[in-house]
Chain A
Amino acid sequence: MANLYRDTGIVLRVQKLGEADRIITLLTQKHGKVRAVAKGVRRTSSRFGARLEPFGHVDVQFYPGRSLDVVTQVETLDAFHVSLVGDYSRYTAACAVLETADRLTAEEGEPALRLYLLVTGALRALAAGERDGSLVLDAFLMRAMSIAGWAPAVEECARCGEPGPHRAFNVQAGGVVCANCRPAGSATPSAETLRLLVALLHGEWDVVDALPTGARRDASGLVAAHLQWHMERQLRSLPLVERTARPVDG
């Protein structure tokens, strides 16, 4: 058993395999994305039980297999799913976090520590439920795109680098654009919306909280448009995110 290895990870996805097994896709701290088989998990008597559900933050031991590695032990670090499933809006936002993380890690086994930390932080914030889930998601998406190397320009002009603030935003051009570079058909979001994008990218939550809530919807729209423009295929979960925070929930 010398080849056993151990890592901590977030369960991104589970797929049924055969009668009662599952293929688990994890984003791990040291090994990047890992796909592994968990045997017997769908039986209600399984010892892995709820630990290998999407959103689970787990400490896992793997045994390398011929095609897929096999999960031999699981310990729960954070059962984020337990609180997320109690609030439908935050559940949908958390789904978009997982799908984005999955899509941004094309290669299995390629280390992705920054993304792992970002995903863990976003799920922790969504599970805690102290902030608007939609804002947590947008902050996550801005920073995930930044790690991927294609965050929208939110301060300098995306084309010429002229320092801002600028008034126009153009997805194809890569973010805000100055009056000279501005292509026809660019959006002109409010100054608050653009300020919100900057604050979300840098994690300036005091600024986010001070801005009028009316800017949030427009900012979400720009973030989503920019993300989808760079993804080969559309994200399935993003259009299903419940954006309107309800006064009472759960």
Chain B
Amino acid sequence: MYEGPVQDLIDELGRLPGVGPKSAQRIAFHLLAAEPADIGRLQDALQKVKEGVVFCDVCGNVSAETTCRICRDTRRDVTLICVVEEPKDVLAVERTREFKGRYHVLGGALDPLSGVGPDQLRIRQLLQRIGNQVDGKDVAEIIIATDPNTEGEATATYLVRMLRDFPGLTVTRLASGLPMGGDLEFADELTLGRAMSGRRVV
């Protein structure tokens, strides 16, 4: 145990995901030795993350404005929606450069063991989006890109059941090649890109 502010900092850092007690100590002492300007920038970034970030009112992605950059981009295909669990998955799919449509971020996967059911995710908002035209165009295809693990697959099953009765809507799932058990964020661009171009109708 260290005294006062140093221990407080170690305790706070230790609460972060993936930071064990040893890493927390290492980060704390790194910060203690850092230039005041570096600390200032970090302080700034931390402050702004709560004040300056909002969630896009269309897709639910993290955004700097009410509507995110992707949803504002008129060159993107409004008839295609790629459904993902988390904002970090939007980044993973964007990196492949295979997808020119828009996104819908659910905010997680259906996981009853953690108390997450359909009402805890942005599923109702997805149904509303499908029901409404954008620029006079209907949504034509929903690509389900939930994680290739148990919760992600169960979420895909639930969505398929909800969506299959929409007339004229095609529902697709990323092609296999993504092994079960992984997180989308860890898939390399090539595999994920191939999964996107080889998606299958479900």
Contacts and interface: CB of A to CB of B under 8 A. Distances in A.
Contacts of B179: 44-46, 49-50
A218 B116 CA distance: 25
B40 interface: no
27 contacts: A18-B18, A42-B181, A43-B182, A44-B179, A44-B186, A44-B191, A46-B181, A46-B182, A48-B181, A49-B179, A50-B180, A53-B181, A54-B113, A55-B150, A85-B150, A85-B153, A85-B154, A86-B157, A87-B157, A88-B154, A88-B158, A91-B154, A92-B112, A95-B111, A98-B113, A237-B115, A240-B116
A91 B110 CA distance: 10
A99 B113 contact: yes
Given A53-B149, A54-B113, A19 B18 contact: yes
Contacts, number: 93
B167 interface: no
Interface residues of A, number: 40
B62 to A, nearest CB: 20
A49 B182 contact: yes
A214 interface: no
B5 interface: no
Interface in B94-132: 110-117
Interface of A: 13, 16-20, 41-46, 48-55, 81-82, 84-88, 91-92, 95-96, 98-99, 236-237, 239-241, 249-250
Contacts of B158: 88
